[in-house]
Chain A
Amino acid sequence: MPPAAPRTGDAVFANIERVNAELFTLTYGAIVRQLLTDLEDVEEVNKQLDQMGYNIGIRLIDEFLAKSNVSRCVDFKETAEVIAKVGFKMFLGVTASVTNWDADGTTCSLVLEDNPLVDFVELPDTCQGLYYCNILTGVIRGALETVSMKTEVSWVRDMLHGDDAYELQVKLLKQVPEEYPYKDDE
């Protein structure tokens, strides 16, 4: 029998390979910088970051499932808890908290006090519309889509814009069950 799924990411985080935090932060900064140079439009950069995050998310989910050994989440509430406690801890080394549940249980907020992507970063006046960490929205969206949940993820608060914490709003649109993929008569 597989061991019970850890509800905190600490055990997994301790066993996983780690990379230097500064290297990670500076690499991400270089990506954003290059996108700004190539695309010049802040909205475009936001979209690209989201798309990149999506591509990362669809691959990252397999690693997450393999390493953390969590079983299928019963409902969206559990999913949000797992993302905040296990997922963020495993990949970013920080835990988030889950707040602001709406009445249906389909929308919640993930609040990050500490975000390794934004160390050393200040946004200049020309880039005020930029969501610097937009890759995270894509990652969550891509990962959840691969486990059959269509979601919408957006930023509510952003410290680089002057708020006191990072808050991501995750909204579950629908659960998409697996379709039998072969449409021909076979």
Chain B
Amino acid sequence: LLHRSRHSVPHDPCISDSFAPGRSPFHHTAYPGFCRKRTVVGEITAERRMQFFGGSAEVNPSPPAPAGAGTVLSGNITYMLYLFNRHGVCLLYREWHRPVRTLDAQQDQKLMFGLLFSLRSFTAKIDPTSVEKGNLGIPLSPHRLPGVLPQVGEITAERRMQFFGGSAEVNPSPPAPAGAGTVLSYMLYLFNRHGVCLLYREWHRPVRTLDAQQDQKLMFGLLFSLRSFTAKIDPTSVEKGNLGVPLLPGQGCSFHSFSTNTYKLSFMESASGVKIILVTHPKCGDLREYMAYIYNLYVEYVPKNPIYVPGTAIKSHVLVGRRPQTVCHDLNVLLPASFI
């Protein structure tokens, strides 16, 4: 498998008809033997898709990227590949670039599988648009959950959570936003370092299954665990605590978003432990600047307000009245330009 000669992409009979050469910089896989289908940016079909990224130069040198393919990162783009079956058995594990390893292979694979298993049920649970929710903890069958799409074309050097597959029949994606009239941001949470929800705003949340208190706890807990998981499996960082040992805010890699086919969750944490969570339409691009903007707004109106008691919910009329318009307006107007 490893040494099979490379096919150049357009001649490979396995490629589905929807592939458009030149759209994705990541044409080439290390395993030409697998039948692969690629999502084209913006096109979501009802089938499950496996998506592979990039190629590594040492094991299987990538053919040069075709001209016009967009930005290509040089050197190792792919770090690791895991393939699990439905029973949690790791069928395949390959690594191309992993400077640091703290667990033995067995534990590492278990951790990875466990992480994704829990994540799938969490992401289904907090899905604001879906009616289909199990109770947290009940295993979901693979077809009945919001599929998560990888963001093709937008790869940065930092870690991103990526998930595979999608099942569009249960949760069809919302129609692409037409313009300023469509609501793009769904919910906003602001937590302080002690887990107190300082601010919660929603603009578009058709379904609510938990009461506000539990919902906020769930959200906080999800992100708290996610941060420690992502730091733990970071293949490039030397600094790792043991799993379960609380992390300092900012320590480890900075997880900043994940997408499903129904929503995108963006996360930002300051060194002082203030966490901003923004749930938006999945087509939104990188929202870090907007979250920095929200953080600046928070700083102007909240800690600087002498009447405000730190650690309590924000009741500032100026902030609360102002924010939905400002943030929503900005997001609605500015984001269409940054769609993938």
Contact = CB atoms under 8 A, between A and B. Distances in A.
Nearest to B194: A181
A147 B246 contact: no
Contacts of A178: 193, 224, 246-249, 273
Contact of A177 (B214, B247, B303): B247
Given A178-B247, A178-B249, A147 B271 contact: yes
Given A58-B310, A177-B246, A186 B217 contact: yes
Contact of B272 (A62, A177, A179, A181): A62
B298 A146 contact: no
State which size class the interface on B falls in: 20 to 34
Interface string A161-186: 00000000000000101111110001
Contact of A147 (B196, B224, B249, B299): B249
A175 B239 CA distance: 15
A94 interface: no
B272 A182 contact: no
Nearest to A69: B292
Contact of A182 (B217, B250, B296): B217
A111 interface: no
Nearest to B298: A62
A27 B24 CA distance: 61
Interface string B116-159: 00000000000000000000000000000000000000001000
A177 B246 CA distance: 6
A146 B193 contact: yes
A66 interface: yes
A65 B270 contact: yes
A62 B270 contact: yes
A59 B271 contact: no
A180 B246 contact: yes
A63 interface: yes
B251 interface: yes
A63 B298 CA distance: 9
20 contacts: A59-B310, A61-B271, A62-B303, A65-B272, A66-B295, A66-B298, A67-B299, A72-B250, A148-B248, A148-B249, A148-B273, A177-B241, A177-B245, A178-B193, A178-B248, A179-B246, A180-B221, A180-B224, A181-B194, A186-B214
A62 B220 CA distance: 20
Given A177-B251, A180-B195, A180-B224, 9 more contacts: A63-B303, A66-B295, A66-B296, A72-B250, A147-B271, A148-B249, A178-B224, A181-B220, A186-B214
Interface in B203-254: 214, 217, 220-221, 224, 241, 245-251
Interface of A is mostly: loop
Contacts of B214: 186
A2 B250 CA distance: 15
B304 A72 contact: no
A63 B299 CA distance: 6
B334 to A, nearest CB: 18
B298 A72 contact: no
In the A-B complex, the 8 residue pairs with the smallest Cβ-Cβ separation, listed nearest first, are A72-B250, A181-B195, A59-B303, A177-B246, A66-B299, A146-B272, A62-B303, A62-B299
Contacts of B303: 58-60, 62-63
Interface in B4-45: none
B240 to A, nearest CB: 13
A71 interface: yes
Nearest to B157: A1
B284 interface: no
Contacts of A147: 249, 271-273
Interface in B292-320: 292, 295-296, 298-299, 302-304, 310
B287 interface: no
A59 B304 contact: yes
Nearest to A177: B246
B287 to A, nearest CB: 13
A179 to B, nearest CB: 5
A92 to B, nearest CB: 17
Interface string A80-92: 0000000000000
Interface in A24-74: 58-63, 65-67, 70-72
